[in-house]
């Protein structure tokens, strides 16, 4: 079978295609051959401005991981009108392809950068870390790595212990489950999983054989290979993703497309909210609507019941401050009239900081000689060819169905209490030989460092890389306004490594990798650490703590899990922004429902927890109005 007669061309063009050409061909062929991805009849249509109602029961700001869930759940009641505003457009077809997530951000993004630092991201231009977030229907679930992880039970028990009733693990588990449509056959019977929800969860379709060596090495180190979203978190696992038939299942696909025909749900795309409107009524302050811009015009839409802010952990605190809700001194400094003094808005910022691109060179062992040599690992550059496209388009298979991260581990460094099932490091194991260079590019590491580290890990060289990140950082950062202009990005100050303990734990993860490298499974592969050094750290021995600390200061990587900038907590916690029902303290009819409300970060990737928060939030709203 030939695809547009291109088989012969494939032979000729055995070389990797330039990325733009590759994506263009992939996109074109999807449009022609894959109606399942184009999904024309289910896609969300933006409501025209002529059809807008003057008021809706609920106005939701942001159609991301959380906002999409809310749009669906609140419009389940046909007697309620729901208005969902999203600054970006609909998802592009290319973002469905898992491979694409590793090489290119298709949809438009909020192109944030952190403030220059003298302590982290030193290897990046102007010492600023790059921080893309989704500006698209589905939000960051459209450009994330799709990894489905819920965090540790103790995280939620700790939220509850801080005075947030109803957020302990036992209480939140049903909200994780209600979303889920688990399709991995080994999980369908688990008490921790559920079939029939909107959000499909599967194993990545394509895993090169090296992932099994990673899992085996875990066993050899005394870890279990099991469901890390199940009874115990500590252990190793294949990566599971928010995937449907092997393709990305964003929250827009999962939650909004099935609701797109509902008459009571209006979704307005390319609609940028500039302000939440609050009126004073006697002694109380009440949110009553939003001001937004679409094209060149501004509109005011009122909320009969509530305004719900789901703009994510950077934009939600920014919009509150722009609306006069935030730390008094800061608002005055920005010439914003103070509506409500809320000192916690933008504070308590937390993120998972990591060591990435740590590369081990491997040789294919004799036992897998029957595999083509170049298929022990995947080379993400080499597979950028017509053959991969053809396999994906025609067969729904092949390496374009893979993610760089094939395996996950939750492990204990010497700083963790091993009896508690509360690991302190997560490892993402990448089966892509060229992951180092991909990561260097994704995080905008300067080219001198990227070249020094990875220039000879190309072509036939096979390798895997590890991305380790710190699960419970002690450092706290913040988000502040730079001006009262809604278009201007806020100042982002993550303060990575402000608490020296964070760096110590992270560096200790390298000791774990060393042990892993000595397991029988890794010996079979002759796994050896890439000896190339970060130029700025070349004075240190590559096995020393000093080297890896220096590496972390230069090649600082985030897993993009920023949270907690509008934290939930009781009224006597002056930094709490919302209460346990996610209502903003001091303002009636306004809730924040997204990743920013986490009292503290969870010990795992943050997308599934954010979806859980939205499921629970929607349920609370319905109960409060019934
Ligand atoms: C590159 C990347 C990789 C990641 N990988 C993973 C992963 O593999 N697994 C995982 O669990 N987590 C991952 N995460 C994190 C996870 O995706 C986020 O924690 C989660 O999506 C946050 O959801 P949210 O609803 O809080 O915000 P978002 O999903 O970012 O949604 C906010 C939405 O609000 C919109 N918005 C903002 N301001 C306005 C405004 N003023 N007017 C109108 N609309 C507005 C935005 O455009 C956006 O659509 C990753 C994140 C990134 C960026
Ligand atoms: C919607 O309203 C109608 C008429 O008042 C009522 O009969 C119906 O039960 C309501 N539906 C829901 C889901 O509440
Ligand atoms: C499609 O799958 C079949 C069966 O696994 C395989 O023989 C064939 O080579 C594949 N075709 C492409 C284009 O990859
Ligand atoms: C580890 O946790 C257990 C159970 O919570 C506790 O009894 C023990 O004292 C802890 N160990 C250390 C070293 O902190
Ligand atoms: C694993 O989980 C079970 C049930 O939650 C618990 O009783 C057990 O202590 C856990 N094991 C470890 C090693 O933490
Ligand atoms: C890359 O070059 C360095 C320095 O010459 C060498 O030590 C290393 O083995 C090379 N790596 C590979 C994969 O060839
Ligand atoms: C806050 O109030 C809760 C009860 O809601 C109480 O348990 C807690 O100790 C109080 N915390 C502080 C810091 O006062």
The DSSP-derived string for 47-99 is: PPGGG--SEEEEEEE--SHHHHHHHHHHTTSTTS-EEEE-SSBPPPGGGGSHH
Nearest-atom number in ligand 2 for the CA of 79 is: 1
Cα dihedral 130→132→133→138 (10° resolution): -160
Residues 549, 433, single domain; the answer is yes
Three-class DSSP category at 568: strand
Residue nearest to atom 12 of ligand 5 (CA): 421
Token reading at 377: 């690992």
**Integer Cα distance of 34 and 47 in angstroms:** 26
Kindly state whether residues 400 and 335 are assigned to the same domain.
Answer: no
- Closest protein CA for atom 4 of ligand 5: 231
Burial of 539 (0-12, 13-18, 19+ CB in 10 A): exposed
Ligand 3 atom closest to residue 394's alpha carbon, by position in its atom list: 13
For residue 408, the surrounding DSSP H or E stretch is: strand 405-411
- Confirm whether 197 is domain-assigned: no
Pairing relationship of beta strands 55-61 and 297-309 according to DSSP bridges = parallel
Residue 260 C-alpha to ligand 2 middle, in angstroms?
A: 20
Please choose from 159, 160, 163, 574 the residue to mutate so as to test ligand 7's pocket, defined by most ligand atoms within 8 A of CB: 163
What separation in Å is there between the alpha carbon of 123 and the centre of ligand 6?
22
Report CA(418)–ligand 4 centroid distance (Å). Answer: 8
Please state the residue numbers annotated as binding site: 136, 273
Supply the mean pLDDT for the chain. 95
Please give the distance, rounded to the nearest whole angstrom, from the Cα atom of residue 385 to the centre of ligand 3.
16
Q: Are residues 50 and 20 in the same domain?
A: no
Contact 279, 95 (CB under 8 A): no
Ligand 4 atom with least separation from CA of 417: 1
The closest-lying atom of ligand 6 relative to the alpha carbon of residue 461 is: 13
pLDDT of 373: 54
At 405 the pLDDT is 81
Q: Are residues 257 and 394 in the same domain?
A: no
Measured N-to-C along each axis, helices 447-454 and 435-442 cross at an angle, to the nearest 10 degrees, of 170
Interval 357-372 mean pLDDT: 82
Q: Whose CA is nearest to atom 12 of ligand 7?
A: 572
**Residue with CA at minimum distance from ligand 4 atom 1:** 417
User: Of the residues 340, 553, 561, 600, which is catalytic?
Assistant: 561
Which residue owns the Cα nearest ligand 2 atom 13? Answer: 77
Q: Is residue 622 part of a domain?
A: no
Share of the chain above pLDDT 90, in %: 91
* Residue partners of 604: CB distance under 8 A and separation at least 6: 149, 150, 151, 152, 155, 228, 233, 410, 426, 471
472-487: pLDDT as tens digits: 999 999 999 999 999 9
Look at ligand 2, atom 1, and give the residue with the nearest C-alpha: 79
Report how far residue 194's alpha carbon sits from residue 200's, in angstroms, rounded to the nearest whole number.
Answer: 10
Q: Is the pLDDT of residue 81 over 80?
A: yes
Nearest CA to ligand 4 atom 5: 420
Q: Is residue 97 part of a domain?
A: yes
Output the CA 312–ligand 1 centroid distance in Å.
Answer: 6
Instruction: State the Cα angle at 599 between 594 and 601, rounded to 5°.
Output: 80
Tell how far the Cα of 360 is from the centroid of ligand 6, in angstroms: 11
Where residue 293 sits, what CATH number does that domain have? 3.50.50.60
Quote the ligand 1 centre to 145 CA distance (angstroms): 12
Nearest-angstrom CA–CA distance, 453 and 192:
42
- Residue scoring higher pLDDT (282 or 527): 527
**Model confidence band, residue 1 (pLDDT cutoffs 50, 70, 90):** very low
Q: How many domains does the chain have?
A: 3
Nearest CA to ligand 6 atom 11: 456
* CA dist., res. 29 & res. 27, Å (int): 6
The CA 588 to ligand 6 mean position distance, Å, reads: 62
Check whether residue 463 and residue 371 sit in a common domain.
yes
Q: pLDDT tens digits, residue range 543-591?
A: 999 999 999 999 999 999 999 999 999 999 999 999 999 999 999 999 9
Residue 49: domain span: 44-142+252-346+584-594
* Model pLDDT, residue 5: 52
**Atom 24 in ligand 1: which residue has the minimum CA distance?**
312
Whole-number Å distance, alpha carbon 201 to ligand 5 midpoint, is 24
The closest-lying atom of ligand 2 relative to the alpha carbon of residue 77 is: 13
338 in a structural domain: yes
Ligand nearest to the CA of 163: 7
Model confidence band, residue 375 (pLDDT cutoffs 50, 70, 90) = confident
- Domain membership of residue 571 (yes or no) is no
Site to probe by mutation for ligand 7, drawn from 570, 579, 580 as the one with most ligand atoms within 8 Å of Cβ, is 570
Which has the higher per-residue pLDDT, 247 or 14?
247
Average pLDDT over residues 387-413: 93
Mutate to test the pocket of ligand 5, among 232, 235, 420, 603 (most ligand atoms within 8 A of CB): 232
Residues 484-534 pLDDT 10s: 999 999 999 999 999 999 999 999 999 999 999 999 999 999 999 999 999
What CATH number should be reported for the domain holding residue 540? Answer: 3.30.560.10
Evaluate: CB of 171 within 6 angstroms of ligand 5. Answer: no
User: pLDDT tens digits for 140-180?
Assistant: 999 999 999 999 999 999 999 999 999 999 999 999 999 99
Whether 227 lines ligand 3, by a CB cut-off of 6 Å, is: no
Q: Are residues 256 and 327 in the same domain?
A: yes
Percent of the chain with pLDDT strictly greater than 70: 96
Q: Does residue 292 sit in the same domain as residue 364?
A: no
pLDDT at 15: 78
| Pair (372, 430) in one structural domain | yes
The 10 Å Cβ neighbour count of residue 80 is: 18
Domain boundary among the residues 541, 558, 575 is at 558
Asked, for residue 611, whether it belongs to a domain, the answer is no
Contacts of 570 (CB under 8 A, 6+ apart): 162, 163, 164, 576, 579, 580
Q: Which ligand is nearest to the CA of 148?
A: 1
In short, whether 391's Cβ falls inside 6 Å of ligand 3 is yes
Position 14 scores a pLDDT of 65
Q: Which residues are annotated as a binding site for FAD?
A: 136, 273
Residue bearing the bigger pLDDT, 424 or 371: 424
Write out residues with Cβ below 6 Å of ligand 1.
61-67, 85-88, 132-136, 139-141, 143-147, 149, 272-273, 310-313, 315, 319, 560-561, 594-595, 605-608, 610
Is 561 marked active-site? yes
Any ligand 7 atom below 6 A from CB of 517 = no
Q: Is residue 112 part of a domain?
A: yes
Residues 417 and 530 in one domain: yes
pLDDT at 367 (0 to 100): 76
- Ligand index nearest the alpha carbon of residue 226: 5
> Is residue 602, in this structure, part of any structural domain at all?
no
Shared domain check, 485 and 393:
yes
Regarding the beta carbon of 570 and ligand 7, being less than 6 Å apart is answered yes
Over residues 263-267, the mean pLDDT reads 98
Q: Are residues 23 and 112 in the same domain?
A: no
Identify the pLDDT of residue 13.
Answer: 53
User: Does residue 401 carry a pLDDT above 90?
Assistant: yes
Give residues with Cβ within 8 angstroms of 216, minimum separation 6: 519, 521
Q: pLDDT digits over 286-303, tens only? A: 999 999 999 999 999 999
Q: Which of 1-15, 108-122, 246-260 has the lowest mean pLDDT?
A: 1-15
Ligand 7 close to Cβ of residue 335 (< 6 A):
no
- Residues 395, 485, single domain; the answer is yes
Q: List C-alpha distances in Å: 91 to 96, 190, 292, 375, 458.
A: 9, 32, 21, 31, 33
Query: Do 197 and 178 meet the contact criterion of CB atoms below 8 Å apart?
Result: yes
CA 361 – CA 197 distance, rounded (Å): 41
């Amino acid at each position: 079978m030939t695809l547009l007669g291109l088989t012969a061309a494939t032979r000729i063009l055995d070389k990797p295609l330039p990325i733009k050409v590759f994506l263009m061909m992939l996109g074109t062929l999807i449009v022609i051959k894959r109606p399942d991805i184009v999904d024309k009849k289910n896609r969300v249509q933006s409501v025209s401005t002529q059809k807008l109602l003057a008021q809706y029961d609920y106005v939701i700001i942001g159609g991301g991981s959380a906002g999409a869930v809310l749009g669906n759940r609140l419009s389940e009641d046909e007697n309620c009108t729901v208005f969902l505003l999203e600054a970006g457009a609909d998802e592009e077809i290319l973002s469905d392809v898992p491979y694409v997530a590793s090489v290119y951000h298709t949809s438009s993004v909020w192109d944030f950068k952190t403030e220059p630092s003298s302590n982290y991201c030193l290897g990046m231009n102007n010492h600023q870390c790059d921080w893309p977030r989704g500006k698209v229907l589905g939000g960051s679930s459209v450009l994330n790595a799709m990894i489905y992880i819920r965090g540790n039970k103790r995280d939620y028990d700790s939220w509850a212990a801080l005075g947030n009733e109803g957020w302990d693990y036992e209480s939140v588990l049903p909200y994780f489950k209600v979303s889920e449509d688990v399709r991995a056959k080994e999980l369908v019977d688990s008490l921790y999983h559920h079939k029939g929800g909107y959000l499909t969860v599967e194993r990545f379709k394509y895993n090169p054989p090296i992932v099994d060596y990673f899992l085996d090495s875990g066993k050899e180190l005394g870890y279990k290979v099991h469901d890390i979203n199940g009874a115990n978190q500590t252990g190793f696992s294949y990566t599971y993703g928010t995937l449907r038939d092997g393709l990305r299942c964003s929250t827009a696909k999962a939650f909004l497309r099935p609701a797109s025909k509902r008459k009571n749900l209006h979704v307005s795309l390319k609609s940028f909210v500039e302000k939440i409107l609050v009126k004073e009524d006697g002694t109380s302050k009440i949110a009553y609507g939003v001001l937004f811009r679409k094209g060149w015009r501004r509109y005011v839409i009122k909320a009969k019941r509530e305004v719900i802010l789901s703009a994510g952990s950077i934009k939600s605190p920014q919009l509150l401050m722009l609306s006069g809700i935030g730390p008094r001194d800061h608002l005055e400094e920005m010439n914003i009239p103070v509506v409500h003094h809320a000192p916690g808005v933008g504070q308590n910022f937390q993120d998972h900081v990591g060591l990435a691109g740590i590369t081990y060179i491997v040789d294919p062992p004799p036992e897998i000689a029957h595999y083509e040599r170049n298929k022990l690992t995947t080379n993400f550059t080499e597979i950028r060819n017509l053959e991969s496209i053809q396999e994906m388009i025609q067969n729904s298979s092949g390496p374009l169905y893979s993610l760089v991260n094939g395996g996950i581990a939750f492990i204990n460094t010497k700083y963790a209490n091993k009896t508690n099932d509360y690991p302190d490091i997560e490892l993402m194991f990448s089966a892509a030989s060229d992951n180092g260079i991909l990561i260097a590019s994704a995080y905008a590491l300067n080219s001198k460092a990227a070249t020094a580290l990875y220039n000879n890990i190309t072509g036939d060289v096979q390798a895997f890389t590890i991305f380790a990140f710190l699960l419970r950082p002690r450092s706290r950062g913040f988000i502040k306004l730079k001006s009262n202009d809604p278009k201007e990005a806020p100042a982002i100050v993550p303060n990575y490594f402000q608490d020296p303990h964070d760096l110590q734990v992270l560096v200790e993860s390298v000791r774990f990798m060393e042990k892993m490298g000595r397991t029988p499974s890794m010996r079979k592969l002759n796994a050896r650490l890439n000896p190339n050094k970060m130029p700025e750290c070349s004075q240190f021995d590559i096995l020393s703590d000093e080297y890896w600390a220096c590496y972390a200061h230069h090649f600082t990587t985030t897993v993009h899990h920023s949270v907690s900038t509008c934290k939930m907590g009781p009224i006597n916690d002056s930094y709490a922004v919302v209460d346990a029902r996610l209502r903003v303290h001091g303002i009636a009819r306004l809730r924040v429902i997204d990743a920013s409300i986490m009292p503290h970060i969870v010990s795992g990737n943050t997308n599934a927890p954010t979806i859980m928060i939205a499921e629970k939030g929607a349920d609370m709203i319905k109960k409060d109005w019934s």
